[in-house]
Chain A
């Protein structure tokens, strides 16, 4: 048993923090209010610097350190929630898809650029009312010579408007495959960026494909069963869990600083129990969530039969705690919290996404209960 970070884990977190300098706030303001081009510029800039400190290689190389990954992710999510999700979808979803399931040629083509932050990628999974638990994919490819003609619709694809490459989950002769397609390919149209409640600096849109050509050398799969879809979902859940920690930390530190510096009745408002006790509850949720998320990450590297159940527990607890902590932070900031552009109101809007995206809290709870019912 050991509750301390290792030297390597601590170093990576420090390096991630070191990437961001004095012009960071200005960059992120552009990210939150910018158009697709502005977002692309900011994301590309930080992908390169994060690549230089080794942040992007995690999960793409042999040797696991999921706890270290979560710690580093938390560090980034504390600094910019939107950048965090863009980077993670690129590195830990698109990148891992290639690293885990790709061919040797695909790996040698994509991985060096991904590790150094020279390309932006994404994976298009969701369709219409589809969830991977109950509904099949409708997007499908038909082989014509050395390529596939892919047709289908994808919803809510993070990074789609700014991506260089998009991996489309679909079917080929009833088996699951991923068609990796270059953006702006013929037959591929990226919808207008969707305005969202939170994570405003994250570019998200629909994708439609009509006889879009995908070269067979860029096809990943085919796979028996739906295991890769489920695996991608666990990666997503892990990102959202770490993102929840970053969000909570960001909101908590903002509220703590405000409560220590804002005075009322000649004393800092933290001295009032109505404020101070809220901060105590927020820190309690944050620390409890951290330990649970780290333990879930640690379990991912063991053969424990409860690994999946604990990962769902972490996803639900961290995501729901994030909303609570953001809400309390906003309350402490009072009128300042209600004004656009502070971490508390931003966190409050963002928090809902964490409960909806990946495995929703509803589905997570049902899966946890399924695990519990097997206990006895």
Chain B
């Protein structure tokens, strides 16, 4: 076993942190408070090369391995980028663009990946529906082949980047009676006839990412927008889940490190009863618990990334364990960080309350903790 990063990876992490601290973090508070998507920061992520990091160079990427991609997610969180922007980046790069990159035709790749990698276009992915969340097989959005077109009908729910996206990867069923075997993936572009988005949903956290319903009413798309084969969508969705449970989790861990540093600073500067509160054992206990969580969570994330880099397909157990731990076990340290700041922690200015709200998504999005337990049960 070897838990080391290469010099190159560590240097890149430093670069990402410096870039994010200078270009993105100063804009975070304003956008988060207003619940506004920060288009400028998103483009900057693209210009820096983050949005297309693991794609091939000829498509605008850098050929990075998965471990490096996870490291970048951690770096963004550690620099202080909010969960909204990192979620938008995750949904864009891993859930939308990666599906086209991994399963699309050369034509599809050439058309979409460069623009998604640069951030010129924003991507989203639609799997969840108002009536089909954890139970993927029950999804009701239909695709029907009519001549050289597919016609989509149905609604998608809680779609990150929905209102701001230019390209959507949509999962829909072909054939009414088919369950998993009927699920297929399609590319739908903004402006397609019969495609509209609902209003931006007001959320507890990750507020700078926009989330909405996607509505398909006799939405016609060209047949060449099918990704892979008809009925191959379920396996694609399962592959994105690995990203969901590694690269998308990394910013939570990095964010917790950011929060821990803030806590340490506050504990040294805040005096009560004539001494810094960091000298009280009750405060030290909280600092220790936050640190223990970070150290425990980190390797879970990198294990999935490393398995993917080794070409091991669908690491379901590892992914479910990581998602369950980081989701459920992050809540207490996130709460500790806020409580440690007392009244200040409850105010937006101190950022820990933002992290508290953002981290609440971890046990819900991308497979609830209950679903992770269900998966683990099935595999043991």
Contacts and interface: CB of A to CB of B under 8 A. Distances in A.
Contacts of B3: 1, 294-295, 298-299
Contact of A67 (B1, B299, B318): B1
A67 B3 CA distance: 11
Contact of B4 (A1, A370, A372): A1
B300 A369 contact: no
Contacts of A302: 4
A284 B4 contact: no
Given A279-B380, A310-B295, A366-B288, 20 more contacts: A2-B1, A2-B2, A3-B307, A5-B1, A6-B1, A277-B377, A279-B377, A280-B324, A281-B324, A283-B376, A288-B321, A292-B299, A313-B291, A316-B288, A365-B289, A369-B285, A370-B284, A372-B260, A372-B287, A373-B287
B91 interface: no
B157 to A, nearest CB: 25
- The majority secondary structure among interface residues of chain A is helix
Contact of A287 (B260, B265, B321): B321
24 contacts: A1-B3, A3-B306, A6-B1, A273-B374, A273-B377, A277-B373, A284-B324, A284-B376, A291-B303, A294-B299, A295-B295, A298-B2, A299-B3, A316-B292, A364-B288, A366-B284, A369-B284, A372-B263, A372-B290, A372-B291, A373-B264, A373-B267, A373-B268, A376-B264
Given A4-B1, A288-B321, A369 B288 contact: yes
Nearest to A296: B295
A375 interface: yes
Interface in A1-51: 1-6, 9
B269 to A, nearest CB: 10
The 4 A-B pairs of least Cβ separation, nearest first, read A369-B284, A280-B376, A365-B288, A291-B299
Interface string B333-374: 000000000000000000000000000000000000010111
Interface residues of A, number: 46
B12 interface: no
Q: How large is the interface on B (under 10, 10 to 19, 20 to 34, 35 or more residues)?
A: 35 or more
Q: Which of B261, B285, B289, B291 has the most CB of A within 10 A?
A: B291
A264 to B, nearest CB: 16
Interface string B270-289: 00000000100101110111
Contacts of A281: 324, 373
A67 B291 CA distance: 22
A280 B377 CA distance: 6
Nearest to B375: A280
Nearest to B305: A1
